[in-house]
Amino acid sequence: MTEFGRILQFDAARGYGFIAPDRGGADVFVHVNECEGDQSRFTPGARVRFEVMDGDRGKKAYCVGVVAEATSSGNPAEHDEDSEFCDVLTIGEMRATLTDMLLRLSPELTGSQIVRLRDGFLALARERGWVEG
């Protein structure tokens, strides 16, 4: 089954990297030989589609390709000042949003640092009722 996620880190010289799946859970290892297309597009934050199999040391991605991002016509920061309601995200949506933000703002973070920060934010979001599930 095809999954989607974002590149956390990728080192073409060393021949591997890691993907943060949109569905959440453990990061997925990816070997350079499993990457389709131009390897220069496999940068932190790049959106990818991939298949997953069990490897010797955890989940491993194969058939990995960078996918184009859909562009938004509106500004998500704009909102109705009179509205009493706000969107409550699922844990998976919040996890993906946090991963995107961390990669965009601090691309030098390691995969384990991103996971630690993301888990801390998710714990706070659960306590405050900002996520459902």
Which amino acid, 110? T
User: In this predicted structure, what is the pLDDT of residue 132?
Assistant: 77
Please report, for the chain, the start and end positions of each structural domain, with discontinuous segments joined by +: 3-66, 89-132
* Cα 105–Cα 107–Cα 111 angle in degrees, nearest 5: 115
Give yes or no for a contact between 3 and 51, defined as CB atoms under 8 angstroms apart. yes
Give yes or no for a contact between 52 and 59, defined as CB atoms under 8 angstroms apart. yes
CATH classification (class only), 3-66: mainly beta
Q: Where are the beta strands (DSSP E) in the chain?
A: 3-11, 16-21, 28-31, 35-36, 47-55, 58-66, 89-90, 131-132
User: In this predicted structure, what is the pLDDT of residue 86?
Assistant: 61
- Tell me which of 3-7, 22-26, 49-53, 124-128 is least confident: 124-128
